[in-house]
Amino acid sequence: MLRQPLLQMSKSARVRHLVETAPVTRAVVKRFVAGDSAADAVRASGALVGSGRLVTIDHLGEDTLDLTQARATREAYVTLLERLSDAGLTQDGQAEVSVKLSAVGQALEGDGEKIALEHAWDICQAASQAGTTVTLDMEDHTTTDSTLSVLRELRGDFPWVAAVLQAYLHRTEGDCRDLSGEGSRVRLCKGAYDEPESVAFGSRAEVDASYVRCAKVLMQGQGYPMLATHDPRLVDIGGALAARAGRTQGSYEFQMLYGIRPDEQQRLADQGEKMRVYVPYGDDWYGYFMRRLAERPANVVFFLRSLATKG
Ligand code: FDA
């Protein structure tokens, strides 16, 4: 019930100001965000890798309409990749990066897609030099075709670039089929945006059923499926689908978000599964934070309670 209003608020400048300036917000944000700087991200990644988990790092920010900002985001990724490499964390792809195309220019009028492609290409080049990989995050459905088109271009030079597909979209089972070929890395998630019924399943049960169908397609394919979910039922089903498809541990991976179900992350890693944690950092955390609140009403209650006790 709270999901839709919260996702709408994630686009409101007024609510953004209120949330960003509330005295206790920082403390709550800290649960989901590794810190403001690249050094914070490298530190958090080092600890996760030390515990047997893998990471994918997101420099926070999205929907930029400013070319200078888009260029700065590209630079931030290039610098981050150098630092990760210097820290020995990019070896065997232990630490990779996740990029939102809207943060590197996709939403700019006119040439947005081309600019985003050029910036993403530079980031892929830096990742290649560091010996690791890049995943293109997926945003709302109006960007899906554009993001998949950029993915195809990038894969011409960097075949390891990963896509994200969202089980809540009607189209996704077909996209999974298209992207299940050899070497194709695909992260499957439920989907985090406020989407109309014309393109997306409305109920939790329908989204979960779609997730299972999509996971089955990916597991039976020749690619490298990455199951991004905290849902214990889907984690179990994902493992069973992998076994049924004759896959061994390491030929697929699980992924979860920084700060969410860390015990379960560790349990899976300790069982020998590849478990990658999505680690966001930076000061532009508002959109990301609101999506995390929208996913779980208990997070909103926790946030409001903190406001009431400290404010
Ligand atoms: P669901 O929301 O049903 O949650 C299952 C259980 O997990 C909950 O009962 C709770 O225990 C726990 N949980 C889930 N979310 C929580 C939260 N915020 N706080 C506390 N507990 C929580 N989306 C997208 O549209 N594009 C993308 O590129 C990505 N990328 C991405 C990467 C990775 C690694 C992950 C894990 C997720 C994404 N997502 C995403 C987000 C995804 O689409 C989805 O919104 C969230 O993962 C929540 O869905 P679950 O599958 O976890 O199930």
Task: Convert the pLDDT of each residue in 165-213 to its tens digit.
Answer: 999 999 999 999 999 999 999 999 999 999 999 999 999 999 999 999 9
> For residues 172, 33, 256 and 293, what is the CA-based torsion angle, rounded to 10 degrees?
-60
Does residue 151 carry a pLDDT above 70?
A: yes
| 311 band by pLDDT with thresholds 50, 70 and 90 | very low
| 308 band by pLDDT with thresholds 50, 70 and 90 | low
CA of 3 to the centre of ligand 1 (A): 13
- Tell me which amino acid residue 160 is: W
Q: Are 83 and 42 in contact (CB under 8 A)?
A: yes
Q: Are 182 and 159 in contact (CB under 8 A)?
A: no
At residue 199, the pLDDT reads 98
Measure the CA–CA gap between 34 and 164, rounded to whole angstroms.
22
Q: pLDDT of 103-141, one tens digit each?
A: 999 999 999 999 999 999 999 999 999 999 999 999 999
At residue 211, the pLDDT reads 98
- For a pocket test of ligand 1, which of 45, 288, 296, 301 has the largest count of ligand atoms closer than 8 A to its C-beta? 296
Q: Are 160 and 133 in contact (CB under 8 A)?
A: yes
Measure the CA–CA gap between 187 and 41, rounded to whole angstroms.
21
| Closest ligand 1 atom to 193 CA | 25
Domain membership of residue 229 (yes or no) is yes
At residue 159, the pLDDT reads 98
| 253 band by pLDDT with thresholds 50, 70 and 90 | very high
Q: Is 230 strand, coil or helix? A: coil
Domain membership of residue 62 (yes or no) is yes
Does residue 305 carry a pLDDT above 80?
A: no
| 22 band by pLDDT with thresholds 50, 70 and 90 | confident
At residue 139, the pLDDT reads 97
Does residue 220 carry a pLDDT above 80?
A: yes
Does residue 154 carry a pLDDT above 50?
A: yes
Question: Considering the entire predicted model, what is its pTM?
Answer: 0.96
Pocket of ligand 1 from Cβ distances under 6 Å:
137-138, 164, 166, 189-193, 228-231, 255-257, 260-261, 278, 292, 295-296, 299
- For a pocket test of ligand 1, which of 226, 230, 254 has the largest count of ligand atoms closer than 8 A to its C-beta? 230
The string over 246-265, giving b where at least 16 C-beta atoms fall within 10 Å of a residue's C-beta and e elsewhere, is ebeeeebbbbbbbbbbeeeb
Q: pLDDT of 50-59, one tens digit each?
A: 999 999 999 9
User: Which residues are designated catalytic?
Assistant: 137, 187
Does residue 74 carry a pLDDT above 60?
A: yes
- For a pocket test of ligand 1, which of 295, 301, 302, 303 has the largest count of ligand atoms closer than 8 A to its C-beta? 295
Distances (CA, A) of 38 to 98, 121, 185: 14, 20, 26
CATH number at residue 227: 3.20.20.220
What are the beta bridge partners of residue 136? 99
Q: pLDDT of 263-302, one tens digit each?
A: 999 999 999 999 999 999 999 999 999 999 899 878 888 7
* Domain count across the chain: 1
Domain membership of residue 300 (yes or no) is yes
Alpha helices in 179-285 (DSSP H): 204-220, 232-244, 262-270
Does residue 18 carry a pLDDT above 90?
A: no
Mean pLDDT of the chain: 94
At residue 136, the pLDDT reads 98
For 57, the domain range is 3-31+44-310
Distances (CA, A) of 263 to 51, 138, 241: 11, 26, 23
Domain membership of residue 109 (yes or no) is yes
DSSP per-residue letters across 22-42: STTHHHHHHHH---SSHHHHH
Does residue 83 carry a pLDDT above 80?
A: yes
User: In this structure, is the dihedral angle defined by the CA atoms of residues 176, 106, 156 and 81, taken in order, positive or negative?
Assistant: negative
| 19 band by pLDDT with thresholds 50, 70 and 90 | confident
| Closest ligand 1 atom to 234 CA | 51
Measure the CA–CA gap between 169 and 206, rounded to whole angstroms.
10
Domain membership of residue 39 (yes or no) is no
Does residue 84 carry a pLDDT above 90?
A: yes
Who's near 161: CB < 8 A, 6+ residues apart? 124, 133, 134, 135, 136, 151, 154, 155, 185
Distances (CA, A) of 215 to 189, 204, 218: 10, 16, 5
At residue 310, the pLDDT reads 52
Across 139-157, average pLDDT: 98
| Closest ligand 1 atom to 56 CA | 34
Count how many residues are written for the chain: 311
Domain membership of residue 36 (yes or no) is no
Measure the CA–CA gap between 248 and 188, rounded to whole angstroms.
19
